[in-house]
């Protein structure tokens, strides 16, 4: 498990650096580019739409190694259920917002559903004692066994004994 956590952290950091660079470049020059490419000032709203969608997917794309690790270990049932919830939530949020703000409303709904499902819920699932040292992805220090790490992997730490909170039951 430690080797997979190290791989997940190392690759995730590289993916984050690359995608954050692209995202920041789009933030810096994207609005003028979209207006120039579209040919009219009415396309300025497309910049904000793209920004919302890009930002919400940024975190999911950084975690692709974790998705593959889950799939290899046949632990992807929870992710599948979260994706179902994201799809249903996206439709429930996006339709009213789309009626009011058109494409931007749909982007807001998609961003909210994606951030809640793919970022908040999946990071809750990754967090020990569930499966990995995932929150260390953006930390400055590599994973270590000092103190809490080993105790969490063996079923509990500092008063957190008991079964894990995730639906697979292990």
CB count in 10 Å sphere of residue 82 = 19
- Written as six digits, the tokens of 95 are 């339709």
Residues 6+ apart with CB under 8 A from 40: none
What does R_g of the chain's alpha carbons equal in angstroms? 19
Q: What is the pTM of this model?
A: 0.69
- Written as six digits, the tokens of 3 are 């080797």
Residue in 99, 98, 115 with CA at minimum distance from that of residue 107: 98
Using one digit for the tens of pLDDT, what is the confidence trace for 126-165?
A: 776 555 545 555 454 444 333 333 333 334 333 333 444 4
| Span between the terminal Cα atoms of the chain, in Å | 14
Using one digit for the tens of pLDDT, what is the confidence trace for 30-78?
A: 888 888 888 888 888 999 999 999 999 998 898 888 888 888 888 888 8
């Amino acid at each position: 498990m430690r080797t997979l956590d190290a791989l997940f952290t190392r690759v995730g950091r590289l993916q984050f650096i690359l995608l954050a660079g692209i995202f920041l470049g789009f933030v810096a020059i994207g609005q003028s580019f979209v207006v120039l490419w579209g040919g009219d000032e009415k396309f300025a709203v497309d910049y904000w739409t793209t920004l919302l969608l890009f930002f919400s997917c940024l975190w999911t794309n950084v975690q692709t190694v974790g998705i593959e690790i889950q799939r290899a270990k046949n632990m992807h049932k929870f992710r599948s259920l979260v994706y179902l919830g994201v799809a249903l939530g996206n439709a429930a949020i996006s339709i009213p917002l789309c009626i009011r703000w058109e494409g931007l409303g749909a982007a807001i709904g998609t961003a909210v559903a994606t951030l809640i499902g793919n970022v908040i819920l999946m990071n809750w699932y990754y967090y020990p004692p569930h499966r990995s040292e995932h929150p260390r992805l953006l930390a400055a220090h590599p994973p270590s066994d000092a103190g809490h790490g080993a105790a969490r992997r063996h079923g509990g730490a500092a008063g957190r004994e008991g079964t894990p909170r995730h639906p697979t039951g292990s």
